Structure 1
Amino acid sequence: MAQIEVTLKRSIIGQRPAVRKTAKALKLGKIGSSASFDRTPSIEGMVRVVRHLVDIKEL
């Protein structure tokens, strides 16, 4: 299965609570933090919620 790496590039301060919780569920706490995931529909949906805050890279 393909993998993606998600890196937080913008702060979650001032974002809606749902966006903040989604970023934390993706293990993104501080700016510059990264996490790798298998590319599944559930992960893609979570990334779609925070897409304005993150960079996505295919692995």
Structure 2
Amino acid sequence: MAAELKVTLVRSHIGQPESMKGTLLGLGLKKREKSVVLQDTPEIRGMIRKVAHLVKVEE
């Protein structure tokens, strides 16, 4: 079974470019301090890397 990542939005998307807002929505993060559990894939890692300054990741 693939590993999972817990991703939490810790900073607001307000004032960020539209591409970052879209990336957060793609990850399923809509509100601050909310978390989602995602499969650990290269695509998800790339999305997390793009918004790394806004999220906290736990393995």
Bin of the TM-score, shorter chain as denominator length: over 0.9
After superposition, residues 7-26 of structure 1 pair within 5 angstroms as 7-26=8-27
**What do residues 1-56 of structure 1 show as CA deviations (whole Å, max 9, x unaligned)?**
11100000000000011000000111101101111111000000000111000000
Q: CA RMSD in A?
A: 0.5
Question: What is the aligned partner in structure 1 of residue 51 from structure 2?
Answer: 50
**How many pairs does the alignment contain?**
58
Q: State TM-score, norm by structure 2.
A: 0.95
Name the SS of the counterpart of 1:22 in structure 2.
helix
Q: State TM-score, norm by structure 1.
A: 0.95
List gaps (5 residues or longer) in structure 2: none
Point out 4+ residue stretches in structure 1 off by more than 2 angstroms. Answer: none
Letter in 2 for 1:49: K
Letter in 2 for 1:4: L
List gaps (5 residues or longer) in structure 1: none
